[in-house]
Amino acid sequence: MRVLSGIQPTGPFHWGNYFGAVRQYIDLQHGNEAYYFIANLHALTTVRDPEKLRGYTLEAAIELLALGLNPERTTLFVQSDVPEVSELCWLLMTGAPMGLLERCHAYKEKKAKGLPADAGLFTYPVLMAADILAYDADVVPVGEDQVQHIEVCRDLARSFNHHFGEVFVIPQAKVLAHAARVPGTDGEKMSKSYNNTIDIFEEPKAMRKKVMRMTTDSRPMEEPKAPESDHLYQLYSLFAGDADREEMAALYRRGGFGYGEVKKALADAAEQFFAEPLARRAELKAHPERIEEILADGASAARRKASQVLHRAQKACGVSR
């Protein structure tokens, strides 16, 4: 299988990014041809400070490597290093119905809130389609929030194929059922844009503080509760092993415990879970030139593949002779 996914350098990665997406990237690098990229062109729709964007981009690479991406097994690169994708984006743009893009939630939500939206946000799903189609990807590991955009990609690819012949591979989203929508500190979906994140590489003390301040269920602690519906338990179960998870679930069903205990268990489990990557990140940070090398190698490999696909698409639609 050919696997591809991208992640925006809009800030440090959080638990939702890890369990929904990055963990899948790491698992899928075994036995597949995998491409992972840092989506700086997408991030440009929100990060409008060049130094920040450059910094977040390097940090994103460091974090992915620290978490276990292996550059020997995968192609890791920065989106803007593959200009073929932007060209492919235009070819897809010419066949992208306005109505289809108007229904996409990122744009719709911003508009509903009365916030000004730009063409970059509106056409975001088309660039994302080009990102995916440029590598003949079969599978795209993502969180649930991206499934709609992958549907758009499939629509655009099918319609191009219908019109111009079999050019694109039709990709499929891959979502992990138990981590499709990891909750944030307020119980809503954890997202960099909602100010409810806990970062993967948060210093343990700061992480603990955030966990202790998380909102909790308003019902009294004495009442037995269904663990699955509580966001503290949902988070705990991502970090805990089977036995600990079962024990915690039993505690919920029995009732008579304090949320403070759950929070403490959650903070302990999270600290232990990310201790090794935290140390690895410090090592990687000391050698930015090594990271640049990895990204440059990744870009060459990615360009080789993307230029083949772009050429195929150009020939099919008549813009190359």
Position among 145, 151, 244, 271 found at the interface with ligand ATP (CB under 6 A): 145
Position among 192, 263, 281, 303 found at the interface with ligand ATP (CB under 6 A): 192
Tell me, residue by residue from 3 to 32, as one string, x for binding to ligand ATP by CB under 6 A and - for no binding: ----xx-x-----xx--xx-----------
CA–CA distance, 188 with 214 (Å, rounded to integer)? 11
Instruction: For residue 52, indicate whether it is catalytic.
Output: no
Amino acid, res. 25? Y
In angstroms, the Cα distances linking 116 to 62, 107, 128, 198 are 33, 10, 21, 28
With respect to ligand ATP, which residue has the nearer C-beta, 8 or 237?
8
Tell me, residue by residue from 153 to 182, as one string, x for binding to ligand ATP by CB under 6 A and - for no binding: --------------------------x-xx
Number of residues that bind ligand ATP (CB under 6 A): 19
Amino acid, res. 256? G
Position among 193, 272, 300, 320 found at the interface with ligand ATP (CB under 6 A): 193
Position among 78, 133, 156, 190 found at the interface with ligand ATP (CB under 6 A): 190
Q: How far is the CB of 182 from ligand ATP (least distance, A)?
A: 4
* Tokens read off for 132: 């995916």
With respect to ligand ATP, which residue has the nearer C-beta, 60 or 156?
60
- State the DSSP string of 247-265: HHHHHHHH----HHHHHHH
In angstroms, the Cα distances linking 118 to 11, 50, 126, 290 are 21, 18, 14, 36
CA–CA distance, 269 with 240 (Å, rounded to integer)? 6
Q: Are 10 and 124 in contact (CB under 8 A)?
A: no
Position of tokens 């024990």?
Answer: 247
Q: How far is the CB of 25 from ligand ATP (least distance, A)?
A: 9
Q: Which residue is nearest to ligand ATP (CB)?
A: 20
Alpha helices in 217-287 (DSSP H): 231-239, 242-254, 259-285
Q: Where does this chain touch ligand ATP (CB under 6 A) — which range of 26-34, 123-131, 143-151, 233-241?
A: 143-151
245 closest CA partner among 190, 198, 178: 178
Instruction: For residue 210, indicate whether it is catalytic.
Output: no
Beta partners for residue 76, in sequence order: 36
CA–CA distance, 38 with 79 (Å, rounded to integer)? 6
Instruction: For residue 110, indicate whether it is catalytic.
Output: yes
Q: How far is the CB of 260 from ligand ATP (least distance, A)?
A: 24
Position among 185, 191, 196, 237 found at the interface with ligand ATP (CB under 6 A): 191
Catalytic residues: 110, 189, 192
Q: For binding to ligand ATP (CB under 6 A), which residues are involved? A: 7-8, 10, 16-17, 20-21, 142-143, 145-146, 179, 181-182, 189-193
